[in-house]
Amino acid sequence: MPGHPQAPRPPRHPAPTRRLGFSRRERGLTLLEVVVVIVLLGVLAAVALPRITEGSFRAAAFAEQVAAALRYAQRLAVASGCEIEVQVDAAAGRYAVRRRADGSDTRCGTTGPFTLDVPNPAGGGAFAGVATGGVAITQGLTIRFDAQGLPSPNGGSVVVGGRTITVESETGHVR
């Protein structure tokens, strides 16, 4: 009203402003945030771990195949009385069990090269294998077992996927 003096208004104070950053009460995580992080870590572990360990599983499996080939060759040499050769080729990433070319499954060869594949006792062709899935043979070996199961030349070692397979020189034992 025009003639009346107006009552003084209370002073306006601006709304309190928040500082950038957090106060002491706001520094922790809520339970929901912690649960979400744990769930995400669990999903990541479930997806990533099998992919990380798959390579080491393949390496272990192939190393065991090579060791089995060496053991079989030694036993076959003793059982048949024939020389048997195992070639583990690092450059080609494969192994093969062979007998002399002038022999057969029932007769020992005496002078020919080792080119006749030994059949796999489980069936399915030659007793041979190829490294796959990034498995590497870093140290190869060519070894022969005589009729007593002794290795020539004097044992040796093969390294497959970081695992060392040793043929003992005195006994031919594969470990």
What is residue 47's predicted lDDT score, i.e. its pLDDT? 82
Q: Is residue 169 classed exposed, middle or buried when 0-12, 13-18 and 19+ CB atoms within 10 A define those classes?
A: middle
What is residue 48's predicted lDDT score, i.e. its pLDDT? 75
**pLDDT, tens digit (0-9, with 9 covering 90-100), for 136-147:** 999 999 999 999
Give residues with Cβ within 8 angstroms of 131, minimum separation 6. Answer: 62, 93, 94, 137, 160, 161
pLDDT confidence tier of residue 82, bands split at 50, 70 and 90: very high
Task: Give the CA-trace dihedral at 4, 8, 12, 13, to 10 degrees.
Answer: -170
For the chain, percent of residues with pLDDT exceeding 90 = 62
Q: Which single residue is written with the structure tokens 């070894």? A: 143
Quick check: 70 and 173 in contact, CB under 8 A?
A: no
Quick check: 169 and 144 in contact, CB under 8 A?
A: no
Does some domain include residue 151?
Answer: yes
CB-CB neighbours of 110 under 10 Å: 10
What is residue 25's predicted lDDT score, i.e. its pLDDT? 58
Quick check: 171 and 69 in contact, CB under 8 A?
A: no
Query: What CATH number has the domain bearing residue 137?
Result: 3.55.40
Does some domain include residue 89?
Answer: yes
**Boundaries of domain holding 116:** 41-167
Quick check: 147 and 82 in contact, CB under 8 A?
A: yes
What is residue 4's predicted lDDT score, i.e. its pLDDT? 63
Does some domain include residue 32?
Answer: no
Averaged pLDDT, 84-102: 96
Does some domain include residue 51?
Answer: yes
Report the mean per-residue pLDDT for the chain.
87
pLDDT confidence tier of residue 95, bands split at 50, 70 and 90: very high
For residue 42, give the 3-state DSSP assignment.
helix
Quick check: 69 and 81 in contact, CB under 8 A?
A: no
Q: How many domains is the chain built from? A: 1
Does some domain include residue 77?
Answer: yes
Question: Over 80: is that where the pLDDT of 12 sits?
Answer: no
Does some domain include residue 6?
Answer: no
pTM: 0.71
The residue that leads in pLDDT, 5 or 66, is 66
Does some domain include residue 25?
Answer: no
Question: Over 80: is that where the pLDDT of 80 sits?
Answer: yes
**pLDDT, tens digit (0-9, with 9 covering 90-100), for 33-61:** 999 999 999 988 888 776 666 678 889 99
Question: Over 90: is that where the pLDDT of 170 sits?
Answer: yes
Quick check: 160 and 56 in contact, CB under 8 A?
A: no
- Average the pLDDT over each of 40-54, 71-85, 98-112, 118-132 and give the range with the smallest value: 40-54
Q: Which amino acid is located at 67 in the chain? A: A
* Angle at alpha carbon of residue 136, lines to 121 and 75, rounded to 5°: 25
Does some domain include residue 146?
Answer: yes
